[in-house]
Amino acid sequence: MSRYNISKWLYFGLHIKRWLFVLLIGVVIMGLGFAYLLREVYATYVFPGWVSTVTLQFMPRWVRGLLFLTVASGITLYGAWRLNRSMVSALLPVERQAQLVEQIYSQRTQGRGPKIVAIGGGTGLSTLLRGLKRYTSNLTAVVTVADDGGSSGLLRRDMHVIPPGDIRNCIAALADAEPLVTRLFQYRFDQDAGQGIAGHSFGNLFIVAMAEVIGNMEVAIRETSRVLNVRGAILPSTLADLTLGAVLMDGRTVRGESNIPYSGSPITQVFIEPAQALVNPEVARALLEADLIVIGPGSLYTSVLPNLLVRGLGDAVIASTAHKVYVSNVATQHGETDGYDAAAHYAAIRRHLRGERVADVVLANSNLPADPLPDEWQSQPVLAPGDADYAGAHLVLADLVAPDHRYRHDPERLAAAVMRQYYERDLRGLAASLPAVAEEPA
């Protein structure tokens, strides 16, 4: 508790001031008790003359009272400061002691934040979560289970478990653990690590090992989240063993999430097998109770849509009374969305959900790079033309990209823009109704 943040202990919502007030009342009552005892001794005992000088009786009583109160306050604050430092040093490492008041404030205030459900996958979802956790701890991340490539694909085939890659990324994004622990969780063994472990992420192995110990993947995710002090919940969209497929413009059908971007032909539709895979009941409950639903960002056909195609999940999104925001990608993805603008991204989602209105707001990036992206990326910035058809959704442009990665979302900017749409939802509805009211006859 440094001099800089002493005043922060008086923030609203910390549940600290009330107990400081109770402590103050106790000290005052104790002081009154001592005063009564001293008054009795003073009236019945004759003190030597020097006692009068030591007790400052040559001063007016009100001056002595103020002096004693000032000295007592200083001693009390110093004692509380030293006690705080002693207790905190035993519970927290040195590098986190200065952030104690911020941690308490975050825990108290974020618990009263809106209930947000984020649907997506890959780095886009984890980027969004990293920013949103500053606003609320009532977060639910819905991740796809169709991943069949890399470390997740190997573990899925060998261990017959839900692919843990996207789950691991979300846990790392929402974790409030030590930075070193988070880095360890994201550590990936290189190809020199030896047969069997090369290419695997430590976090993936940790989650799968937890599932083996507990015997249940859902519980393993919750326990891993508890160990890393995750703010929010991370839920697989379904508990079924999914395979993602795509119908291409040239008539071919490709199966396997990792194969779709390399099919060599534009995608017209994606599907899941089994088609009757049911939504995770916890996901459906979270969607129906949500205040805000955020769809994307993420790979349109291999991260976002595999979630929405799960039976019951898309219906729950449409039926929910929550405010809904679709976040468009900032750059096209080769093999999936070549030539797409923001309206085309949103139209693909609606096309897979029977043309229903999915979002109230389409949020797109306005900070387009002046220079074209490198040719080897085979990618272009996603434009958001204002005259395109967004099927009733309100197009909102904002600067969403990271200053040092113009092809990726910035967590803080993205979260701020999303929360702004949530808090301004009523104002937008009121503004939309004003012209109709003005046209009514007097």
The pLDDT of residue 61: 82
At residue 88, φ and ψ (nearest 5 deg) are -65, -40
Other CB atoms within a 10 A radius of the CB of residue 341 amount to: 19
- In whole angstroms, what is the distance from residue 323 CA to residue 357 CA? 12
What's the pLDDT tens digit per position in 104-144? Answer: 656 666 667 899 999 988 889 999 999 999 899 899 999 99
- In whole angstroms, what is the distance from residue 54 CA to residue 172 CA? 63
Residue 153 makes CB contacts below 8 A (sequence gap 6+) with: 147, 163, 258
Architecture of the 113-431 domain: 3-Layer(aba) Sandwich (3.40)
The pLDDT of residue 4: 47
What's the pLDDT tens digit per position in 224-267? Answer: 998 888 889 999 999 999 999 999 999 999 999 999 999 889 99
Q: What is the DSSP string of 360-415?
A: SEEEEE----SSPPPGGG---BPP--TTS--TTPEEEEE--EETTEEEEE-HHHHH
Residues of the chain short of pLDDT 50, as ranges, are 1, 4, 436-442
Are the beta carbons of 137 and 235 closer than 8 angstroms?
no
Nearest CA to 410 out of 134, 168, 223 is that of 134
Nearest CA to 367 out of 328, 398, 331 is that of 398
The pLDDT of residue 371: 75
Which token pair is 193? Answer: 């690590």
Are the beta carbons of 174 and 141 closer than 8 angstroms?
yes
Helix (H/G/I), strand (E/B), else coil: 228: coil
Sign of the alpha-carbon torsion through 8, 11, 16, 19: positive
- In whole angstroms, what is the distance from residue 294 CA to residue 325 CA? 5
Nearest CA to 307 out of 141, 142, 125, 116 is that of 142
The pLDDT of residue 442: 40
The pLDDT of residue 359: 95
pTM value? 0.78
Cα angle 66, 68, 73 (rounded to 5 degrees) comes to: 95
- In whole angstroms, what is the distance from residue 13 CA to residue 174 CA? 22
Ranges of H-type helices in 252-383:
281-289, 305-308, 313-319, 342-352
Are the beta carbons of 68 and 28 closer than 8 angstroms?
no
Nearest CA to 293 out of 119, 109, 166, 111 is that of 119
Are the beta carbons of 292 and 422 closer than 8 angstroms?
yes
Nearest CA to 165 out of 199, 129, 216 is that of 199
Are the beta carbons of 401 and 409 closer than 8 angstroms?
yes
Q: How far is CA 30 from CA 17, 25, 27, in A?
A: 20, 9, 5
Nearest CA to 329 out of 123, 146, 145 is that of 123
Residue 53 makes CB contacts below 8 A (sequence gap 6+) with: none
Sheet with 253-255, edge to edge strand ranges: 253-255, 243-248, 267-273
